Each structure stands twice: as C-alpha cells, then as structure tokens.
Chain A
C-alpha cells in the first residue's frame, strides 16, 4: 500500500512552535495527517491550535510518545539544535525520524549517523522535503504528509518516487498525477552529503512493497549513491524504473583541491551515472519533463500497469 508511513501513522513535530514548523504542521493537519503531538522544551502543557485541531505540546519526545503513541517524528528545529533533536527521537525508540532542517553542520551529522548505527530508528534527511503517502480524498487528502511537500499535487496509486531534491520530486509527482498515474509514496532523502537514508534503502523498500508497481529514481551529480542503487536494481528488481540525473551542465566545480575526485571515484558525473542507468536497464528521462513518460515507456516494455 505504501512504504514507511500510512494514513494511520501518528506523527509528532519537533519545533512545532517555530514559524516554519508551525506553518507546515497546519498544512499537514489540513491534509488529514494524524499529527498527534508537538515537542518544544519548556512549552509542555500548551496546545498547538489550528481550526478544530488542538495538538498537545510536550517538553520531550519521550513524554509525547508515552502520551500519544506517536511512532514518527518530523524535525524542523534550527540547525544548531537539530542533531540533538534527531538523537532525542532515536533515543525514544521511534520507527522513523524525518529531519527537514537545512544547514546542519556536517560534523554534527557525522556524529549523529555514528550514534544511531544499529538503532531501530530510521532517519530520513536532513535537508529534505520529507515524504508523502497520498490519501483517497480530493487532491489526495486523507494521506500522510510529513515535511514540506505540497500534498495536493499527489494522487493515490502505485508509483514510488525517490529523490534528493524537493522541487524535482514535486515535478515528477506532478507529471505523474497530470497523466492520471498515482503514487504509493514519494520520498525526498535530502541533499546533504551525510544523510540517514540512501536512494538504495528506499529502492529496496519500494521493491518489497507489492503495491508499488513502478519507480522513479531521481539523482544528481556527486557521490555514487545512484550508481549503487542502479546496480542493485539490475540484480534484484523486476519493476519498471525510470531515472533522471540532474546536473549534466553543472560546472566541474570550483573546488580548490583534488582529494574529492579520488575519494568520489569516476562515476560521479552526470554522464557516468546516466551510462550506468542505461546499463542497468533503467529507462533514462532525457529531460526533466520526460520523467513520467520515461516510466510509462519502461512499464510498457515490461507489460506492467501503473494505474
């Protein structure tokens, strides 16, 4: 039916009393998401009110979990405190922590990633748009919206979308919805060099999900995450997959040193990644306008129905 989250998933918001967190908490409530708690240290006992909604605020994640049974946290707290907020959610034993915050120091994320290794909690992000499992209502309302994506562009269905970039995810989702093709879940894993969940992690989940019939994999220049995902797809997945790599025209970089090139390897250019996609049987979107059509081509070739 979807991956990671369902319309029944109970969410808590870390940073609900901030402008940004509050605005998106309201949009999620409007979308019909089960947003059951807010967490802001020092503001426990207060309520976050929006229309007929009255969401209790707690001083800690552990208190919020005990009182509401929330299993997922979304983090909007400012960068200097975001690493701590993520660890608090992991310590409380949540299933999933989604970090939206942009601008967390890389060192903080190196330490956070090390600290959560082996823990049951999955981290998505940081610096990501979050994820959406569309609902059955008008404009997909009644679904689970975690983060900052526009809910209304979605449509409930069977295509999984994974991307680092927010607006490119929206572009892909919008193309699909415009063609009457719905999505199981759209996941933005975030653009930072150290993040919790990789393209491959999400691809594996989509591959196991019987309700996901096809996948759009959106990547960018830099790193080798898309290559890793593509090779796994070739070996393990029979589902139609369309891929797009952004950054073919990006300048080679105004880097000062050369160390990145030897650590990054030779497969981090758009050209190299596109070549690997083709070799792995992924239908490449020629332009960003071609993402949904590329998936339709792949589905047709494999005899799979997407809608």
Chain B
C-alpha cells in the first residue's frame, strides 16, 4: 500500500487493478519523468542547464585549466592585458600607440589585476564559490525549512503556533542587515580566539574555505523561513486528503506518513521555489564579497573581483567586466532553469 501516492491516486482510480498498473505507469511515465519531459522541451531551460553544467565542469577542473594559482602575484605583470582584450575595449590602448598605457602580455588569457594575478584563474576559481553557494544555500534551506514546515503543519495546534511565531520573529529581522551583522560579528569575534576553543576551530575551518563557512552559516540562518512556510501550507492542505486518512486508518506511523506520503507530494512546489531562489543566494554572496564581508582575500569571488576591478574600470575595464560577465551568465542560467522547473513541476500553472 505504500506506493499509493499522488500519482497512483490520480491514475489508479479509474483502473481495475490499481496497484499493478500503478507500478507500470511509474516505470513508463511517473510524475518525475513527466516533469523531465516537459523540462527538456523548454529551450531556455536547456540552455540554462548547459551553462550550469559547463560552469560545474570548469569549477571542478579549475586546476587543470590554468597554469597559475589564484593567489599567485606576478609583480612584473601588474595590470597587463592580452592583445585581444585590448582590441575588444576601444578605451584601452597598448603601450607604443598614441596615448597608449596598457602593457601587453599574452601569457594571461583575460589579463592580470592590480597585483599581477591571473584574471582567468581567479574567475574560474570564483565559479567554485558561486556554485557552492548556489547548492549549499538551497540545500540548507530545503533540509531545515522543509522538515520544520512539515512538522509544524502536520502536528498542528499549539506546536504549530509556536513554531510559526518563531518563523515570524526571524522574518522580522531584515535579512541583509542580519547577515551583515553576523558576518561582522563572526569575523571580529572569532578571528583572534585562543588555540583549541570552538571559535578557533570554526575560524580555522572558515579560513581553510577562504571565508565561505561563515557565508554558508549566514545564508543558512536567513534562508529557511520561506521554505518552512511553504511546506507548512502544503502539508495543511494535504493533511485532510483521503489518501492520508487511508494511511492513518491502516496504522501507518506519523513518521511514515510524513516522509512517505506527504514529502513526495510537497517536493514539487518546494523545489520550484528553491530553484528560483538560487540566483538570490548567488547575488547575496556576490554582494557580501563586494562590500568586503564575504570571502577572505585572496580567495577569489566574483563579487570581490568586481569590487576590485571597479576601482580600475576607467583604465582596465576588463578587470571588472569579465567577472561581471561570469556572474551575469550564471544568474541567467539559474533563472532559466528555475523557470523551466516551475513549468515542468507545476503543470497547472502553465495552463493558466
């Protein structure tokens, strides 16, 4: 009986042998397969997926793609650019031309920054940060938010009331302010802690990840409330459905009902919600790094690279525009994919 979920309920009602048929339909065209088919019919979503896949590959194979490290400073090649970049930007003129000031160095694919670091290397390593945030953000949000919301909605009554008030309180803090405060607090109070303490260990881990740990914690703490509310709402509407009652009546445990029957049914909307939120996490990290509260230098993040490049934008536009382009690409890709997922997983919405 455990295979009675939303899909079998829908398909199975009209059929004489519900369980066997249900298993068959599951194999041929279950709801997830349907969704997948709808997704790959969406061109924009495909483009998004390809771009994301490309960035994931770049991030994984970053060390193989470049001869430099992201922190390596070459003081003899400060603020240089290769020929094609100079040709690309009409404002940049190479040394030797009239009014020329840009030193040409074709060893670096996108040029170098104010400390002689390879821009290309920094951008591909920066993809690691943005992608990590793009996956860790929704993951914590999904884990914490969904479980929290489901428990709250399923148990109901006073527990529900208290749990939702906590969410309300969390909501009352402006997210950005809270996260800025937290980052400042972590950095200031953990950075000079004694050896062996928890704060020391946390800071050590954070330093090892180039400052990403605190970004994850910050995003994690501020991102799960939306999901919790959504999950709770879904559970409330599902709780009264017949198949849940049926499960109850044959003695399935609460945990069984929540994870076997409720969870699969609310995953669609929750995933859609989270995939649409990914660009927000990416831009939040970029913003934090831009204002200097994100990754620790010299770890490259597109946000901090744009911030550093913006200082030289009149003389060396490539230093800001290339990382900005990367950020722009990945934000678009995730937006396209998010839209595609919404259309695929929520077919009712598309028909409207």
Do A and B belong to a common assembly?
Answer: no
